[in-house]
Structure 1
């Protein structure tokens, strides 16, 4: 029953990866956290539930973001000039965030996850430029502050929380004048540095402490990773037909609505 639940929500993570650039973190972290605190992963994993959920999320994100990036590249929705050097600064921040997460408790990680979601939702609803496009015509290029220090902050927060960075990159790109289709497509390749650096760090830091038992590599739950990834593959195939067909404003409103659902679910777990 547990694996069936994970497969189902893996499918949801695949859909949100393609349509919203989430990469899977906002779905995987609350679901896997709930599964682990129920004792399904063993006593040690229950104690480290939030760390395992975040680490497994970044691992799933590697596959989800890679497949979605490949699809976006074939469809021509990627704006390659916007990917670098922003992606490089995000990678630097990702290393900082992953290391920092190893020094805090699971309850702190969970509280940070909820607080960050709440701030993002309020920002998207109250500040102009997200629900309705910020500008018409050619998009504005990102400033040096947004690319450099901004990229490091994005990488650090995203890896610390295991959410990929789309919750920051999508609003940032949206307010620069990109459509929701473009902004969400760009979020996936920009999540790859977070996924790769975060997964490697969580594996190594997890191995340096108490082993969680068979089926774990560091903090990564390999069984959950496999099931979630398989479900995500089906979800991405299902969602691909809707790319570019959702009205822009409805797309933005749906993005915010999903953040609200995830925040509520995390509070209630």
Structure 2
């Protein structure tokens, strides 16, 4: 039954990864939180396990989503090269920071963050996307050092939130007039260094704290990782295909609604 649950989570997360470029973490983290709670794990480590396992599975979903978006020319590789070093370093350090935060505070932090991003995307995203498509506003990204620094900030936040960085990378790129499809594709590529560094970080810092839970390496649950990763690899390709069939304004609306629902879920679980 547990394996079936992990496979279902993987199917949903993979589709979200391909569709929104978020690595599936916004689906995986709240669902794993519920599952680990039902499994009777220590309340103060459940959120950390959900975050660490989420990042580990994003390694697989990012590869699948990246391949699908790259085939359609949706990845801006020069931008990826500028962001990647900061993303990796920031996410590894962010895992250490997350390990020092209580599970309850992590829930509230993630909930508030997702609601904020959803609001920003819903109110500003449609106007910016329309401008980029209709008037061909040129893409004016910051300098390489600034992109590197932005990558570091996104990396730290991604570890704390257990996501592939899409919730920050996509708004960051669209702010500089990158159309939604390319922002999603590049975000999918950025999810790979984030996931690798984050998973290693949660394993390392989790082992330092000697997590009392079966089938885990640090803050990464092995069975959950295998079940989710095996299914999400295939469904991420489906999500990526759908992403290129939808209009940018519609895609942004769907993205913001998803983040809003998940954010409310975290706040409800943390406060009640």
TM-score, normalised on structure 1?
Answer: 0.91
Cα deviation for residue 178 of structure 1 reads 2.1
Higher helix share: 2
Unaligned 5+ runs, structure 1: none
The answer for the alignment partner of 2:63 in structure 1 is: 66
Say if 1:267 and 1:131 are closer, same or farther in 2 by CA, change over 3 A: farther
Say if 1:238 and 1:132 are closer, same or farther in 2 by CA, change over 3 A: closer
The answer for the alignment partner of 1:155 in structure 2 is: 155
Q: How many residues align?
A: 266
Runs of 4+ that moved beyond 4 A: 128-131
Secondary structure in structure 1 of the residue aligned to 2:130:
coil
Secondary structure in structure 2 of the residue aligned to 1:83:
helix
Separation in structure 2 between the aligned mates of residue 234 and residue 193 of structure 1, nearest angstrom: 20
Unaligned 5+ runs, structure 2: none
Which is further off, 71-80 or 200-209?
71-80
The answer for the alignment partner of 1:104 in structure 2 is: 101
The answer for the alignment partner of 1:242 in structure 2 is: 242
Cα deviation for residue 8 of structure 1 reads 1.6
The answer for the alignment partner of 1:93 in structure 2 is: 90
TM-score, normalised on structure 2?
Answer: 0.90
Say if 1:140 and 1:132 are closer, same or farther in 2 by CA, change over 3 A: closer
Secondary structure in structure 2 of the residue aligned to 1:132:
helix
Out of 75, 79, 86, which is 2:76 matched to?
79
Cα deviation for residue 128 of structure 1 reads 5.9
CA RMSD of aligned residues (A): 2.0
The answer for the alignment partner of 2:212 in structure 1 is: 212
Out of 129, 134, 137, which is 1:132 matched to?
129
Query: In 2, are the aligned partners of 1:90 and 1:154 still within 8 Å (CA)?
Result: yes
The answer for the alignment partner of 2:187 in structure 1 is: 187
Q: Which has the higher contact order (CA 8 A, sep 6+)?
A: 2
Secondary structure in structure 2 of the residue aligned to 1:148:
helix
Query: In 2, are the aligned partners of 1:164 and 1:194 still within 8 Å (CA)?
Result: yes
Cα deviation for residue 240 of structure 1 reads 4.2
Cα deviation for residue 163 of structure 1 reads 1.1
Secondary structure in structure 1 of the residue aligned to 2:141:
coil
Say if 1:139 and 1:201 are closer, same or farther in 2 by CA, change over 3 A: same
Query: In 2, are the aligned partners of 1:125 and 1:131 still within 8 Å (CA)?
Result: no
Separation in structure 1 between the aligned mates of residue 125 and residue 210 of structure 2, nearest angstrom: 47
Say if 1:143 and 1:238 are closer, same or farther in 2 by CA, change over 3 A: closer
The answer for the alignment partner of 1:27 in structure 2 is: 27
Say if 1:155 and 1:237 are closer, same or farther in 2 by CA, change over 3 A: closer
Query: In 2, are the aligned partners of 1:124 and 1:130 still within 8 Å (CA)?
Result: no
